[in-house]
A = this chain, B = another copy of it.
């Protein structure tokens, strides 16, 4: 498991520190691991560019991984990043 540096941990924390983005992650979980954007428009009461903005933050930190499917994009959780972040948190403990 890769040792995560502080700057990366900071960015991941920031990406997780918003209710909309946590909601997106729980929707991915709910949809059994592949989420389409259209699922979010139904469940999140924000304009399309706002949702796009949040998805960007989650993909930039690689917490979720995008996959193009024609005109659509679907997303899945990236367990590896979560595990690395957990490793970082373990390292904070006494």
Contacts and interface: CB of A to CB of B under 8 A. Distances in A.
Contacts of A89: 82, 85-86, 89
A59 to B, nearest CB: 15
Contact of A13 (B17, B33, B83): B17
A51 interface: no
Interface residues of A, number: 31
A9 B85 CA distance: 14
A91 B22 CA distance: 12
Contact of A92 (B10, B11, B17, B25): B25
B77 A82 contact: no
A58 to B, nearest CB: 11
